[in-house]
Amino acid sequence: MTPGIPGTSGSPKASDPLMRQATSPDRIGQQIAFLAEADKLKLILRRTPLIDLSRRENSAEHSWHLILTAMIVREHVGADVDLMRVLEMLAIHDLIEIDAGDTFAYDFKGQATKAERERAGAERVFGILPDDQRAYLRQLWDEFEAQETIEARFAHSVDRLQPLIVNASCGGGSWINQNLTQEDILRRMAPIETALPTLWPFVTQTIDRYCAAGVLAKSPSRTR
């Protein structure tokens, strides 16, 4: 086990599809083409700002922050989890935005076409790779989307937690001027309550604070 990172192995396994030896110039060419294509994720802007409010973060920055977040909050998962698989999911899950773009979590019209656009993006972007690596990354992406494994649920909760942390640290961030309610945010953050229950009080306290500040509208049905 790698010191300090539970759930990861110290060396790559020969069976790992991402560690097989390249055997042809065509294979190497496909891998280089994929890595060049992946760089375009830096061009995809999200709604969440940087903490200093100087600009909006891009999706590559978001993916890096998710990976770091998962490493730090791993201890709050109430079950054994394969952290390396979680990190792999987080590294690749937004690559489809190169084609599909980032759909704002509270853009309800955009959400209606999000799944279709992202599936098409997954087909093209992962399809640049050699077949074995295409299949492996697509499997990771499908697992993340399905949320049926503990790793996928943990990864998904981290994807919800990171924007909350940023918004909580910069005066409301992407929540400002969106006419959002307490219920909207709680519904979006719900995966955290299940996968990272010890962090749920931070979530609710943050939402309550921004309701009190008038950034979010308090839901009448909520009594705290």
Q: What is the pLDDT of residues 31-52, one digit of tens each?
A: 999 999 999 999 999 999 999 9
43 lies in some domain: yes
CATH number at residue 114: 1.10.3210.10
What domain count does the chain have? 1
Name the pTM for this structure: 0.85
* Rounded-to-10 torsion of CA 172, 178, 184, 188: -60
Stretch among 86-90, 182-186, 216-220 having the lowest mean pLDDT: 216-220
**109 CB neighbour count, 10 Å cutoff:** 7
For residue 113, the model assigns a pLDDT of: 81
20 lies in some domain: no
Tell me what the mean pLDDT of segment 191-198 comes to.
Answer: 95
- The answer to whether residue 12 scores a pLDDT higher than 60 is no
Domain that holds residue 82: 25-212
* 112 vs 52, more confident: 52
CA distance linking residue 66 with residue 79, whole number of Å: 19
79 lies in some domain: yes
* Rounded-to-10 torsion of CA 51, 53, 57, 62: 10
CA distance linking residue 101 with residue 197, whole number of Å: 31
Q: What are phi and psi of 217, to 5 degrees?
A: -90, 130
222 lies in some domain: no
The terminus-to-terminus CA distance of the chain in angstroms comes to: 43
- 132-190 residue pLDDT tens: 999 999 999 999 999 999 999 999 999 999 999 999 999 999 999 889 999 999 999 99
107 lies in some domain: yes
Helices 200-212, 150-169: axis angle to 10 degrees equals 30
Amino acid identity, residue 120? A
User: How far is residue 61 from each of residues 67, 109, 171, measured CA to CA in Å?
Assistant: 10, 25, 20
Tell me what the mean pLDDT of segment 80-90 comes to.
Answer: 97
- The answer to whether residue 70 scores a pLDDT higher than 80 is yes
List CB contacts of 76: < 8 A, sequence separation 6 or more: 196, 197, 198, 199
CA distance linking residue 81 with residue 56, whole number of Å: 32
CA distance linking residue 118 with residue 130, whole number of Å: 20
Helices (H) and strands (E) in the chain, counts: 9, 2
List CB contacts of 151: < 8 A, sequence separation 6 or more: 81, 82, 85, 86, 89, 143
Residue 50: name the closest of 39, 60, 41, 61 by CA: 61
219 lies in some domain: no
- The answer to whether residue 14 scores a pLDDT higher than 90 is no
- The answer to whether residue 94 scores a pLDDT higher than 90 is yes
193 lies in some domain: yes
2 lies in some domain: no
